[in-house]
Amino acid sequence: MKRPTSTAIIGIGNEFRRDDGVGWAVVSLLRERAAQRPLPSDTRLAQCDGDPGRLITLWEDTGLTVLVDACFPPSAVPGRVHRWCAAPGDVLRAAAPGRHSTHGFGPAEALRLAEALGRAPGHLIVYAVEGADRSLGTGLTPAVACAVPSLARQVEADAEQYGEARARGLGAG
């Protein structure tokens, strides 16, 4: 079986729930920047509402998937970014019910389902941005909006590093 080599960058969220739209904002910025500075070939940019079936379809057959989503912990520092990169044996933990995500069935559960179905990404990186406001409305709060450009650069660097490793025949390593 051929080893997957493509990259998927998926912004998860809802642009009509204020800071929950941060994943979509990062993907939008990456699309704009790609005109000036293209991402590695075979890189797909997608926005998703977090539906597990759609997530699995978007990351299936990828060597690298980068997810960007908002989180809303009890003592949030809006704009603070957390990066989780799976190492062998690592498990993406689900948040406690009703709390940190606006999704009832989140990326962790979708990943477990995908693994059981043999449809998980080859390598997964998750960025979670702490948000302040998930009420109805558009536009990110200032602190979260300020995090978007540097987060987009980090995601670009992940995609470039994977692309370079793939070109050298090293995989996602």
Per-residue pLDDT of the chain (173 residues; tens, 9 = 90+): 456 779 999 999 999 999 999 999 999 999 999 989 899 989 999 999 999 999 999 999 899 999 999 999 999 999 999 999 876 555 555 544 444 444 456 777 888 888 888 888 989 999 999 999 999 999 999 999 999 999 999 999 999 999 888 878 765 54
Number of CB atoms found within 10 A of residue 34's CB: 13
At 24, which helix (H) or strand (E)? helix 22-34
Dihedral sign for Cα 90, 129, 111, 62, please: negative
State which amino acid sits at residue 169.
Answer: G
pTM of the predicted model as reported, rounded to 2 decimal places: 0.86
